Structure 1
Amino acid sequence: MNFLRRRYEPFQVKHENIEHVSVGCFKSTLSKVLGLGIIGGSFLVKVPQILKILKNKSAEGINVFSVLLDLFAISAMVSYSFVSGFPFSSWGDGVFLGIQTVTIAVLVMHFSGDTVQATAFLASYLAVLFVANSGLTSVNVLWACQAMNIPIVLVSKLMQAYTNYSNGSTGQLSAVTGFMLFFGSLARIFTSIQETGDVTMILMYICSTAANAVIAAQILYYWNADAKSKDAMKKAK
């Protein structure tokens, strides 16, 4: 029996190693696929929001300070990830989300009647972005900015949630954008764990997912409330 056990044990260990490698390979592949899928989706995440603002020529219901905080969080994450050498699949969506978010910020300022401020803001933002990614900024400073993202993400989203609550509607917020942001940040929790192992990034995406869930829930709630209101008005007529 001992002889058979000694002959069997190496095969058992080898089998366990194969299973371990297979699971690790599956997780790595899934993370890459999710990451690339999120990057692909990020091309269009905030486009519905931009089109809605342009179509209505209004930024009603959009909290500009919330947008600016969101832009800071995205920019800090991208700069920190780029300088740290993390895989592009773990943060590439931030590049396209940043472009779309800065576009929304400029449009909100423009349709609020301050085009000069919008132009000056865009120029300043591009200058800061260059300094952050050109090697002129210490990685420790970028890490500190990334760490600040955890409260910033919560504050920016909850400010928008409070604006929605105060107005009793989600205004010009796009439902498509809201839900894509929620599912994107949810998937990013897994890809951040798998590809970066960076605690600050993981915590940021956990907080972002929770905050995006609040916005998504409000979109659903006020959507139903608006539908009931319209039905009531039709019946009254």
Structure 2
Amino acid sequence: MDTLQNSVIKPLQPLLKPIVSAIPEPVHDAVVSLIGKPCHSALLLDLDVTKDPLCTSLAISKALGIAIVGASAVVKIPQILKLINSRSSAGVSFVSYALETASLLITLSYSVRNQFPFSTYGETALIAVQDIAVGVLVLNYAGRSAAAATFVAVVAASVYALLFDQTLVDAQTMAYLQAGAGILGVASKAPQIYTIWREGGTGQLSAFAVFNYLAGSLSRIFTTLQEVDDKLILYGFIAGFSLNVILATQMLWYWNAPATKQKAAPRAKAIEVPSAKSTGASPGASPRPGAKTPTTRRRG
């Protein structure tokens, strides 16, 4: 940090000071609400990243958290568009998205109930909505529209029970669910990894979503360490990052592979021609035009 302060920030201070003084008051208030008054004074007003190293770590964590929340608003949009344009769900596992939706809803509810900073969990709500859309599209393109409607109904009931009526799920049960959410988050990646391996290609899976998830899960480990003292949340992000690495590796490995493994076309059966009866005709020969055929009528 000393090198950064002396080599970059100090020479730029004459240029940065007027910019800082011109920042509107609401922006300063927003920064104070995020990192506190002492850190706001040290980092923004004094332009000194060495005064309090904890302030610098907190500011980096907040910036990463806001960036993750912002990116999460569009992270699954390419996947949704890819499904709509291709009208195919090849290579995309519904089970994977259903499990991830359940994990996200539990983590969102747990974080809201514990009043964690929004920058540490805000993306869960946005990604969950997009996951629901992907799940519905996958089921519809698989010809299972009734299952898609059931999926939406189950999600709506879960949101009500976890977020809006806290008498149905108490705090202790919520903690157990959060422990399970980490397992669900890990399990949600397994069907997708298996689907790619089975089909020998990534099909309609979006590379943008996969690599953004990889970066986001790594950043979430850092922000959780900085701002949330909760091992349940931390271990879930670490496990999710590990499996996101596998998905990203598969995406690179199967980059130019077809959506599904090509199967050999079945060999056509030879058409058997009935053998000719003792009529003297050659096999398969047609009667000669005008030839007389046997009849049961008696001639008079």
Report if TM-score (shorter chain) is over 0.5.
yes
Matched residue of 2:90: which SS? coil
Assess if the C-alpha contact under 8 Å between 1:84 and 1:139 holds in 2. no
The structural deviation recorded for 1:100 is 0.3
Matching residue of 2:186: 154
Q: Quote the offset at 1:20 in angstroms.
A: 8.9
**Percent identity between the aligned chains?**
33
Kindly report which structure 2 residues correspond to 1:1-237, keeping only aligned pairs within 5 A, or say none.
Answer: 22-134=52-164, 135-136=166-167, 137-225=169-257
Provide the C-alpha distance between the structure 2 equivalents of 1:19 and 1:74, rounded to a whole number of angstroms.
35
* Aligned-pair CA distance for 1:225: 4.7
TM-aligned CA deviation for residue 139 of structure 1: 1.9
CA displacement at 1:21 relative to structure 2 = 6.6
Superposed displacement of residue 114, structure 1: 1.6
**Deviations for 1:128-174, whole angstroms, at most 9, x for unmatched residues?**
10110122221222211111123222222122111101110011100
Q: Deviations over 1:99-139 (max 9, x none)?
A: 00011111111111121221222122112101101222212
* Matched position secondary structure for 1:223: coil
When residues 19 and 50 of structure 1 are mapped into structure 2, their CA distance, relative to the original with a 3 A threshold, is: closer
- In structure 2, relative to structure 1, the CA distance for the partners of 1:20 and 1:198 (3 Å cut) is farther
Q: Deviations over 1:42-101 (max 9, x none)?
A: 011111111000111111111111111111111111110011110100000001000000
For residue 210 of structure 1, what is the amino acid of its counterpart?
S
Distance 1:56 1:207 in 2: 32
Q: Distance in 2 between matches of 1:139 and 1:183?
A: 31
Cα distance in 2, alignment partners of residues 140 and 173 from structure 1? 37
Q: Which runs of 4+ in 1 moved over 6 A?
A: 18-21
SS in 1 for 2:52: helix
Gaps of 5+ in 1: 1-17, 227-237
When the two chains are superposed, the root-mean-square deviation of aligned CA atoms in Å is 1.7
Q: Aligned partners of 1:19 and 1:56: how far apart in 2?
A: 49
Cα distance between partner residues in 2 of 1:224 and 1:124? 37
Name stretches of at least 5 consecutive residues in structure 2 with no aligned partner.
1-47, 259-300
1:170 counterpart SS class: coil
CA distance in 1: counterparts of 2:223 and 2:78, whole angstroms: 25
Aligned-partner residue type, residue 163 of structure 1: T
AA at the equivalent of 1:121: F
Sort the Cα spacing of 1:127 and 1:21 in 2 relative to 1 into closer, same or farther, 3 A.
Answer: farther
Distance 1:76 1:151 in 2: 12
Question: Which stretch shifts more, 87-96 or 126-135?
Answer: 126-135
Q: 1:125 to 1:184 in 2, by over 3 A?
A: same
SS of alignment partner, residue 196 of structure 2? helix
Of Structure 1 and Structure 2, the greater helix share is in 1
One-letter identity of the residue aligned with 2:62: K
Which residue identity lines up with residue 219 of structure 1 in the other structure? M
